[in-house]
């Protein structure tokens, strides 16, 4: 599960970076701080928060 979350987070960061520099312009997505950028940023942030909560729960268990 952790490896899957890491891969998804990496993909989100890659899409966010490509969208920011304007690679997706032919598809109608403007470069810069577009909705694509913010969706990917929030998704990556949610993965980080989820993993941090899980890590704290595991530490309390032990």
Tens of pLDDT, residue by residue, the chain (62 residues): 889 999 999 999 999 999 999 999 988 888 888 899 999 999 999 999 999 999 999 888 87
Q: What is the pLDDT of residue 29?
A: 86
Q: What is the pLDDT of residue 30?
A: 87
What does R_g of the chain's alpha carbons equal in angstroms? Answer: 15
Instruction: Tell which residue, 7, 18, 9, 3, has the closest CA to residue 41.
Output: 9
């Amino acid at each position: 599960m952790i490896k899957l979350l890491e891969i998804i987070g990496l993909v989100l960061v890659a899409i966010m970076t490509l969208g920011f520099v304007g690679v997706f312009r032919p598809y109608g997505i403007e470069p810069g701080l577009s909705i694509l950028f913010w969706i990917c940023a929030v998704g990556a942030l949610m993965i980080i928060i989820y993993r941090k909560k899980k890590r704290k729960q595991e530490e309390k268990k032990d």
